[in-house]
Amino acid sequence: MSAGVASGLVTNAAGRRVPTHVNGREQAPYQGVNQHTPLGNKAGPPIRSSSEYPTNGDKRLPDLETALRLCGLRDGTTISSHHHLRNGDRVALTALQTAARMGAKELVWFPSASFPCHEPVIDLMKSGAVHHIEGSMNGPLGDYCSHGHMRGLGVLRSHGGRWQAVQDGEVHIDIAVIAAPTADFFGNADGSHGRSACGSLGFALADSVYADRVIVVTDNLVPFPCIPWQIQGNNVDYVVEVDSIGDPSLIVSGTTQITRSPDRLRISELVARFLRDSGIMRDGFSFQAGAGGIALAFVDYLAGMMKQANVRASFVRGGSTKYLVDLLNEGLIGYILDGQTFDLDAVHSIASNARHVATSPFTSYNFHGKGNFASMVDAAVLGATEVDVNFNANVVTHSDGRLLHGIGGWQNCLFAGCTILAVPSFRDRIPVIVDEVTTVTGPGELIDVVATERGIAINPRRQDLLDAVKGKGLPIRSIEELQAEVEKICGGKPAKPRLLDRPVAVVKWVDGTVLDTVWQVVDDNPYAPKVSGGE
Amino acid sequence: MPAVAGISTLRRGEAGRAGDDIRSDLHVSFEERASGGIEIGLRSRVELYYGEVIRRQVCDVLCTLGVEHALIGIMDEGALPFVIAARIEAGVRRAGLAQGKSALPEAVTLAAPSLRDRLRRSRLYLPGNEPKYFINAGLHGPDAVILDLEDSVHYAEKDAARLLVRNALRAVDFGTAERMVRINQLPLGLADLEEIVPQSPDVILIPKVEAAAQISDVVGAVDSITQRVGVTRPIWLMPILESALGIENAFAIATASGRIAAITLGLEDYTADLGVAKTAGGSESLYARQRVVNAAHAAHVQAIDSVYGDVVDTDGLLHWGEASCAMGFEGMGCIHPVQIEIIHRAFAPAPNELEKAQAIVAAFEEAQARGLAVVSLGSKMIDAPVVQRAVKLVARARKMGIIADQASAGDPS
């Protein structure tokens, strides 16, 4: 690692040591929730004139190589991509490999998230074609970075934080490569139709607006106009038609299944009961949902309770699945404000139901806007790898320090009226409630409830919630009590793995400040649990 | 196995499981050696967090088992300490060592001893050689957990499962759930009893009982072990009738010992014995179930129903449970925790039924207080058996927590 990559460690307001410079750029250390408001103007792409573009609107080029060349590919270019195609994506890797073949070096890849299918980017980093990744890393990419092999420092951002970074000019995208399940020759594009349909294309929206150059890559070219158009052709430079942008079976799952794990079901039920008994579940309320095991199951329990109480939610934010779509169709929820579309039922719904709306990180999560949806949601149910006795939580690293997950919308959702972490109290003998998390991803003052199979801990800052559920028969316990019980089961406090004093990545807070540092791991534990994919 | 003088016959033993798809278990390969102390080869998913703790535990367990020199290889998939101890002991015993010695884990505080007639609506089956299900079983709120050594354990693993269940009885907090163990048929079941009984299980389920004599054998063993080791908590028995002959002898079996708290039946084996298919409606086993209910009530023990095998069909389970309750059963088995709450609902008295029973009990108590022999409610005279049934129902609802103890009419205590 070159000396300039990370330097000048300071202790931030979360008490964590963070670098003052990352990849040559000066950083503001985290200063507390709502404490940092930058001045100045947003970044903007160069002015373009329609006179430079075909008057008939046909921006098609024969292939990606031509498009990259015409976009001015050179050494050090930052190329962005979105992750709506998830583990089925073929476009991001092809773009980087094409750029490498064209001789480009020191590229920066700026994905909205990476997946195991992007593992070959390691070869591009080894060959020098790609310098580093600014975005979530997990699986093999996460291990590569965790072991200090990446030349630049990884920068992990939330979905909202990625928009903020682009908008505030922290990251400048030279070329955005946008995989589009449907597009027309003008560059209007959408994700709701086509054989590679993925639903919303919201993660690509910032890229389309702020990048110097924008390439739309599609395997479903339709005659103008492509309706609806979440990506506007007026922001697009070139359109490339390819045989396939990805593997549909890996883009969305056929049907999303609710977990059968008894422990997860118990946690899910406790979460739903908490929402009901605390009074959060009332007519017109709203909540955040996802596609994880507990996130799905808690919605199922909650729906039953909503029916029983004759209560309707005004809207649901989040990842959409068949379960959410069923609730929408039953009239139990007014709208789905969709950030990510996870299964085929949800894809069909977003394409056909006017109450199922594609959103973007700008509307939902961007902290540097004139408000965002995240803080208007009554309850968010999220996961975590670790949570400490001060309710600080970790979602990016495993307890052994390896990068495990991206942040996704997790940090943004913490601004909900009631943030609930639904987690098992231990996994494979590894306690989830710890004295101090390995990596702070979310400050404890924003985390209200930790729901485990052994009971629910409410943050002492939320006396209102403590009062609301008093005498309701829920297993409310202090977080220290839960921790002590689990340590007794597991055979004492777990030892803290030793990490090298060398940063490999930083975790950004939603306002662009540096919240924590991910340190290089010493060595691998070959019998550690398998790392999972996803954001 | 005596070693021939001068020839080294170092003994080996393996136990447990490891692999990508295994969780909360471990594989132990133990090899005795002549000298050099204990050498541990450890590969663990939790090495970074508990590596040293595990190594210490290995030494402690081997020391307790009287092993001084050995090579021991451990592949650990995140097993909890009570599992590690059980697997090491199984490995050492399979090597033919440590006879008569046990490495018992630290004991947790047990809930109050079981009453003979306590609530037994749901009993959650836990395969005896699958440690991952043990630790959270009590959290799901079953009336009982049943650690199974019989059908869910492969014949070759009976010895290892026995040690695992023994350790679980000591070290796992099952909350307020009654701790049941299903032993194997005798004589194999006698070896189960030797390990299990000293850990005070609340109920022992005896499989495939066909005659009262089988009960006597178990009672004899339980009595002698409890006396020998000084077990003071009650240990109840629940025979399982799983054949046509067993059903025919239901009353004799139910009255074979004062330790019997309940009888139940196993419909898979029973229908196999009849040579008929087990259907969802269950008409082929109607007689057997009625016979068990009648014999149980005649013997003043609880009648407990079999299990409902389709976990996904929750409506079917609810209907089965309601019908079962209406027949006179007091509970049934569960093969997945999601069944527990549904079974509790099925065995709960209907609100209108309970309300009526409470009114009858109140009328009865008022009549008692006024010295009247005839109980009447409104314009109706209430017969004695109706009063009796109402008293039972109200008492049961109180046990289930459906009506509060304090609020119960006429309860002077």
Supply the CATH number for residue B78's domain: 3.30.230
Indicate whether B256 pLDDT > 50.
yes
- Residue range A224-251: average pLDDT? 95
Chain A hits for B76, Cβ within 8 Å: 527
List, for residues B175-186, the tens digit of each pLDDT value: 999 999 999 998
Residue A457 parent element (H or E): strand A455-458
Residue A405: per-residue pLDDT: 87
- Rounded distance between C-alpha atoms, residue B142 and residue B135, angstroms: 14
Indicate whether B2 pLDDT > 90.
no
**Dihedral of alpha carbons B338, B340, B341, B342, sign:** positive
**Is B372 touching A (CB cutoff 8 A)?**
no
**Residues B256 and B384 reside in one and the same domain:** no
Indicate whether B68 pLDDT > 50.
yes
To the nearest whole angstrom, how far is the Cα of A430 from the nearest Cα of chain B? 7
**Residues B256 and B128 reside in one and the same domain:** yes
Residue B382: per-residue pLDDT: 86
Chain B hits for A529, Cβ within 8 Å: 45, 78
**Is A428 touching B (CB cutoff 8 A)?**
yes
**Residues B80 and B133 reside in one and the same domain:** no
To the nearest whole angstrom, how far is the Cα of A442 from the nearest Cα of chain B? 23
- What's the 3-state SS for A47-96? CCCHHHCCCCCCCEECCHHHHHHHCCCCCCCEEEECCCCHHHECHHHHHH
Contacts of A140 (CB under 8 A, 6+ apart): A116, A119, A122
Residue B3 lies in a domain: no
List, for residues A23-46, the tens digit of each pLDDT value: 999 999 999 999 999 999 999 999
**Is B197 touching A (CB cutoff 8 A)?**
no
**Positions of E strands within A97-220:** 107-111, 130-133, 154-156, 175-180, 182-183, 189-190, 213-218
Residue A288: per-residue pLDDT: 93
Residue B381: per-residue pLDDT: 85
List, for residues A47-84, the tens digit of each pLDDT value: 999 999 999 999 999 999 999 999 999 999 999 999 99
To the nearest whole angstrom, how far is the Cα of B316 from the nearest Cα of chain A? 18
Indicate whether B28 pLDDT > 60.
yes
Q: Which long-range contacts (CB under 8 A, 24 or more apart) does B192-196 make?
A: B192/B149, B192/B158, B192/B162, B193/B218, B193/B221, B193/B222, B193/B225, B194/B225, B195/B162, B195/B163, B195/B165, B195/B166, B196/B162, B196/B165, B196/B166, B196/B169
- Rounded distance between C-alpha atoms, residue B88 and residue B13, angstroms: 9
Residue A5: per-residue pLDDT: 64
- Rounded distance between C-alpha atoms, residue A116 and residue A85, angstroms: 12
**Is A46 touching B (CB cutoff 8 A)?**
no
Residue of A nearest to B172 (CA): A489
Task: Label residue A248 by pLDDT band (50, 70, 90).
Answer: confident
Residue B372: per-residue pLDDT: 83
Indicate whether B138 pLDDT > 90.
yes
Indicate whether A1 pLDDT > 50.
no
**Residues B148 and B289 reside in one and the same domain:** yes
Residue type, A202: G
Q: Which of B43, B139, B337 sits opposite A454 (nearest CB)?
A: B139
Contact B192, B184 (CB under 8 A): yes
Indicate whether B410 pLDDT > 50.
no
**Residues B342 and B355 reside in one and the same domain:** no
List C-alpha distances in Å: B77 to A528, B19, B87. Answer: 9, 7, 12
A22 torsion bin: left (phi>0), alpha (psi -120 to 50), beta (else): beta
Task: Label residue B378 by pLDDT band (50, 70, 90).
Answer: confident
- Over chain A, what is the mean pLDDT? 93
To the nearest whole angstrom, how far is the Cα of A155 from the nearest Cα of chain B? 26
List C-alpha distances in Å: A450 to A123, A280, A335, A457, B179. Answer: 40, 16, 27, 5, 30
Q: Which of A428, A497, A525 sits opposite B24 (nearest CB)?
A: A428
**Structural fold of domain A262-519:** Glutaconate Coenzyme A-transferase (3.40.1080)
**Residues B314 and B395 reside in one and the same domain:** no
Contacts of B286 (CB under 8 A, 6+ apart): none
- Rounded distance between C-alpha atoms, residue B39 and residue B59, angstroms: 9
To the nearest whole angstrom, how far is the Cα of A405 from the nearest Cα of chain B? 19
Q: Where in chain A is the domain with CATH 3.40.1080.10?
A: 51-134+171-248, 262-519
- Residue range B378-391: average pLDDT? 86
Domain boundary among B50, B74, B94: B94
Contact A400, A529 (CB under 8 A): no
**Is B337 touching A (CB cutoff 8 A)?**
yes
**Is A69 touching B (CB cutoff 8 A)?**
no
Residue A535: per-residue pLDDT: 47
List C-alpha distances in Å: A16 to A19, A405, B225. Answer: 10, 20, 59
Test mutation, A269, A527, A530, chain B, max B CBs within 10 A:
A527
List, for residues A454-473, the tens digit of each pLDDT value: 999 999 999 999 999 999 99
> What is the DSSP annotation of A339-393?
EEE-BHHHHHHHHH-TTEEE--HHHHT-SSSS--GGGG-SEEEE--SEEETT--E
How many domains is chain B partitioned into structurally? 3
A490/B50 touch (CB, cutoff 8 Å), yes or no? yes
**Positions of E strands within A194-308:** 213-218, 238-241, 285-289
A-B C-beta contacts closer than 8 Å: 77
Query: A225: cis peptide before it, omega within 30°?
Result: yes
Task: Label residue B412 by pLDDT band (50, 70, 90).
Answer: very low
Residue B312 parent element (H or E): none
B337/A495 touch (CB, cutoff 8 Å), yes or no? no
Indicate whether A529 pLDDT > 70.
no
Indicate whether B405 pLDDT > 70.
no
Chain B hits for A423, Cβ within 8 Å: none
Indicate whether A266 pLDDT > 80.
yes
Indicate whether B406 pLDDT > 60.
no
pLDDT above 90: percentage of residues in chain A: 87
**Residues B236 and B88 reside in one and the same domain:** no
Residue B178 lies in a domain: yes
Residue B3: per-residue pLDDT: 45
**Structural fold of domain A51-134+171-248:** Glutaconate Coenzyme A-transferase (3.40.1080)
Q: Which of B49, B75, B76 sits opposite A495 (nearest CB)?
A: B49
Chain B hits for A453, Cβ within 8 Å: 136, 139
Indicate whether B313 pLDDT > 50.
yes
**Residues B359 and B221 reside in one and the same domain:** no
Contact A61, A88 (CB under 8 A): no
**Residues B264 and B194 reside in one and the same domain:** yes
- Residue range A304-320: average pLDDT? 95
**Residues B333 and B355 reside in one and the same domain:** no
A527/B337 touch (CB, cutoff 8 Å), yes or no? no
Residue B281: per-residue pLDDT: 84
**Is A490 touching B (CB cutoff 8 A)?**
yes
Task: Label residue B401 by pLDDT band (50, 70, 90).
Answer: confident
Q: Is B146 helix (H, G, I), strand (E, B) or coil?
A: strand
Taking Cα atoms as reference points, which of B352, B353, B350, B316 lies closest to residue B332? B316
- Residue range A378-391: average pLDDT? 96
State whether ipTM is beyond 0.85: yes
**Is B52 touching A (CB cutoff 8 A)?**
yes
- Residue range B119-127: average pLDDT? 97
Indicate whether A89 pLDDT > 90.
yes
Residue A187 parent element (H or E): none
**Is B24 touching A (CB cutoff 8 A)?**
yes
Residue B114 lies in a domain: no
To the nearest whole angstrom, how far is the Cα of A494 from the nearest Cα of chain B? 5
Which of A230-239, A396-405, B245-254 has the lowest average pLDDT? A396-405
**Residues B191 and B74 reside in one and the same domain:** no
Indicate whether A342 pLDDT > 80.
yes
**Residues B153 and B188 reside in one and the same domain:** yes
Give pTM, 2 decimals.
Answer: 0.92
Domain residues for B358?
A: 351-399
Indicate whether A533 pLDDT > 50.
no
Indicate whether B7 pLDDT > 70.
no
B45/A527 touch (CB, cutoff 8 Å), yes or no? yes
A428/B53 touch (CB, cutoff 8 Å), yes or no? no
To the nearest whole angstrom, how far is the Cα of B270 from the nearest Cα of chain A? 29
**Is B338 touching A (CB cutoff 8 A)?**
yes
Task: Label residue B374 by pLDDT band (50, 70, 90).
Answer: confident
Domain with B327 in it: what CATH number?
A: 3.20.20.60
Residue B383: per-residue pLDDT: 85
Residue A249: per-residue pLDDT: 87
Residue B6: per-residue pLDDT: 46
Test mutation, A300, A427, A428, chain B, max B CBs within 10 A:
A428
